[in-house]
Amino acid sequence: MNLKLKSLAALLLLVFITGTVNAQNADLGDFLSKKGYIAIKLNKLIIGHIYMEGTLNGVKGKFILDSGAGATVLDVKVKDKFHINTTKGNDVPAAGAGSATLTARMVPDNTLVLGGYKKEKFTVTVMDLDNVNSALKSVGIAPFDGVVGADILSSGKAVIDYSNMTLYLMQ
């Protein structure tokens, strides 16, 4: 096979593969949408962490997606911004990346909205996220308001489509 034919064959194969991948991704989104899932756009930081924008109690914020976090957590420094009344909650022992002993407060009766997904009567965990935000700041990334954790992901029967940077949650 001459060089021109090999190049043409490689180009056609690339077009076929790209079309197949795009069709499969569209098929996944269509399939999940038909099952009642809501698509939520994800973003990726230069250091690889995935985050999304959403609202907590009607206030916009930025939240890291952390499937390893047992709960959705809000930084104690922004609790007033999000109208979190910590006198309503209960203290619980907690642990997190970079710290073995932390105190967290479970605060009920909040509303979380991520794209078209809405979770009402939601309990958010409030704790100090200085260790996370300091690490981000050290590489030039602005602080985050909190972390969306496994409580939302499991109750929303999450599917994460990394290739399309989309989180799907069932309402």
CATH number at residue 123: 2.40.70.10
pLDDT at res. 79: 97
Q: Quick one: 26 and 71 in the same domain?
A: no
Q: Return the beta strands (E) in 115-154 as ranges.
A: 117-127, 146-148
Q: What is the pLDDT of residue 15?
A: 41
pTM of whole model > 0.75? yes
Maximum Cα–Cα distance across the chain: 76
* 140 and 89 fall within a common domain: yes
One domain for residues 26 and 48 = no
Q: Which domain holds residue 112?
A: 38-170
**Contact partners, residue 120, CB within 8 Å, separation at least 6:** 111
- Render each residue's pLDDT in the chain as its tens digit; 171 residues: 554 544 444 433 444 444 444 555 578 999 999 999 999 999 999 999 999 999 999 999 999 999 999 999 999 999 999 999 888 766 776 655 555 557 899 999 999 999 999 999 999 999 999 999 999 999 999 999 999 999 999 999 999 999 999 999 999
pLDDT in the model for residue 1? 57
> 121 in the Ramachandran plot: left (φ > 0), alpha (ψ -120 to 50) or beta?
left
The total of structural domains in the chain comes to 2
Domain match, 103 and 28 both: no
The single-letter DSSP state of residue 145 is S
